């Protein structure tokens, strides 16, 4: 074996990519000119929630591209599709020549960078709770040149949340209903403490039994639900969950759970109102709060001593 050749080969293996990388990064120096000062006229939304926020701001006619899931308001269905949630077809996206792309959960993190290099403004939002939702609304308002409308939206949403909070005002924390959120049944998936649903439950005046689990949507052992013994079971399937409520009562070992015994299984709130982090979410919270704290039952129902 020739030692020198070995080292040359090694140098080539290390060096060639390094040189290539340097060339590429030099070439990639931001060519994008100063973003246009006038508000963007061509917007691509990569999330149904963003589409809803834009429509709520009265900017529906400026959306030139949306995801396959953008179905609300009904006009949104007519917008050209660019792909799934956070996973656009890049060619399709570029062909729409947008001024700005607004996304929440990009599947590939390098996509935003690539789009920016192509001279497209990208607004990436993280919406994991109500504080972030309001923040996102404001950022969108700034980006599209409608800050006042966005601020008004946020005020309206806050007002609805306050209305929801009133329903459980004065109930001590340890008497708030314990809620088990069922996101899916096969496997059994709930929503953990870092999910948006956790915040939804809290704002509606409930306590998420899975609050201590760190994953957003953990797959759990059904035994846990028996152990938690929730007062209310909230079904949040993305698809309709009509017969699920009846089916839950027939599950092995679930008959003793308080929510099942008392029939407090909520299955009729539209999943979009609970899962889509957009302007309609506050309506979902209000609806849920009314179910968790029925207004006519003025005095809190007497609590049975916990059964074995």
Partner 1 sequence: MFVILLALLAGACALSLLAGPSWVPLSEMPESNIVRMRVARILLGIIAGAGLSVSGVIFQALLRNPLAEPYVLGVSSGAGLGAAVAIVLGLSGTGVWGVPALAFIGALFTILLVYGLARTSSGAVPVPTLLLSGVIVGAVLSSILMFIVSTSEGEKLHNVMWWLLGSLQALDWRPLEISAPPVAAGLLLAVLLSRDLNLMTLGEEPAAHLGLNVEQTKKLFFLVASLMTGATVAACGLIGFVGLIVPHIARLIMGPDHRRLVPAAALAGATFLVLADSFARSVLPVEIPIGVVTAFLGGPFFLFILRRRTSPYWR
Residues near partner 1 (CB under 8 A): 84-85, 87, 183-189, 213, 215, 217-224, 226-227, 237-239, 241, 243-244, 246-248, 250-256, 308
Instruction: Tell the smallest beta-carbon distance from residue 97 to partner 1 (Å).
Output: 26
Instruction: Tell the smallest beta-carbon distance from residue 301 to partner 1 (Å).
Output: 23
Residue with smaller CB distance to partner 1, 121 or 184: 184
Residue with smaller CB distance to partner 1, 105 or 132: 105
Q: Return the HEC string of 212-236.
A: CCCCCCCECCHHHHHHHCCCEEEEC
Residue labelled with tokens 């060639």: 16
Instruction: Tell the smallest beta-carbon distance from residue 250 to partner 1 (Å).
Output: 6
Q: CB of 48 within 8 A of CB of 69? A: yes
Residue with smaller CB distance to partner 1, 70 or 164: 70
Residue with smaller CB distance to partner 1, 149 or 188: 188
Instruction: Tell the smallest beta-carbon distance from residue 100 to partner 1 (Å).
Output: 24
Other beta carbons within 10 Å of 244: 16
Instruction: Tell the smallest beta-carbon distance from residue 50 to partner 1 (Å).
Output: 16
Q: CB of 47 within 8 A of CB of 55? A: no
Instruction: Tell the smallest beta-carbon distance from residue 227 to partner 1 (Å).
Output: 5
Q: CB of 103 within 8 A of CB of 86? A: yes
Q: CB of 248 within 8 A of CB of 160? A: no
**d(C-alpha 215, C-alpha 207), whole Å:** 17
Instruction: Tell the smallest beta-carbon distance from residue 273 to partner 1 (Å).
Output: 17
Residue labelled with tokens 């996102």: 136
Residue with smaller CB distance to partner 1, 96 or 254: 254
Residue with smaller CB distance to partner 1, 17 or 256: 256
Beta strands (DSSP E) in the chain are 43-45, 63-67, 81-84, 87-88, 100-103, 121-124, 178-182, 184-185, 188-189, 207-208, 232-235, 265-266
Other beta carbons within 10 Å of 149: 17
- The answer for residues whose C-beta is within 8 angstroms of residue 203's C-beta and 6 or more apart is 130, 161, 164, 165, 285, 289
Residue with smaller CB distance to partner 1, 39 or 86: 86
């Amino acid at each position: 074996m020739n030692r020198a050749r070995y080292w040359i080969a090694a140098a080539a293996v290390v060096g060639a990519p390094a040189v290539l990388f340097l060339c590429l990064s030099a070439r990639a120096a931001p060519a994008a000119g100063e973003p246009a000062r006038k508000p963007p006229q061509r917007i691509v939304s990569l999330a149904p929630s963003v589409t809803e926020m834009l429509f709520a701001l009265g900017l529906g006619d400026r959306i030139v591209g949306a995801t396959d899931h953008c179905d609300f308001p009904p006009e949104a269905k007519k917008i050209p599709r660019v792909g799934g949630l956070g996973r656009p077809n890049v060619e399709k996206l570029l062909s729409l020549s947008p001024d700005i792309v607004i996304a929440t959960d990009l599947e590939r993190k390098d996509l935003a960078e690539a789009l920016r290099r192509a001279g497209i403004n990208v607004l990436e939002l993280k919406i994991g709770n109500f504080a972030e939702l309001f923040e996102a609304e404001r950022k969108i308002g700034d980006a599209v040149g409608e800050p006042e409308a966005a601020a008004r939206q946020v005020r309206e949403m806050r007002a609805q949340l306050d209305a929801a909070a009133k329903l459980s005002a004065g109930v001590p924390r340890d008497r708030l209903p314990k809620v088990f959120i069922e996101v899916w049944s096969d496997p059994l998936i709930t929503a953990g403490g870092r999910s948006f649903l956790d915040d939804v439950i809290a704002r509606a005046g409930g306590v998420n039994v899975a609050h201590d689990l760190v994953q957003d949507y953990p797959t759990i052992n059904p035994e846990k639900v028996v152990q938690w013994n929730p007062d209310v079971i909230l079904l949040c399937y993305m698809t309709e969950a009509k017969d699920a409520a009846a089916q839950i009562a027939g599950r092995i070992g679930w008959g003793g759970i308080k929510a099942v015994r008392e029939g407090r299984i909520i299955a009729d709130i539209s999943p979009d109102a609970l899962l889509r982090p957009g302007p309609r979410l506050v309506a979902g919270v209000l609806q849920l709060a009314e179910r968790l704290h029925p207004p006519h039952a003025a005095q809190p129902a007497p609590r049975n001593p916990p059964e074995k």
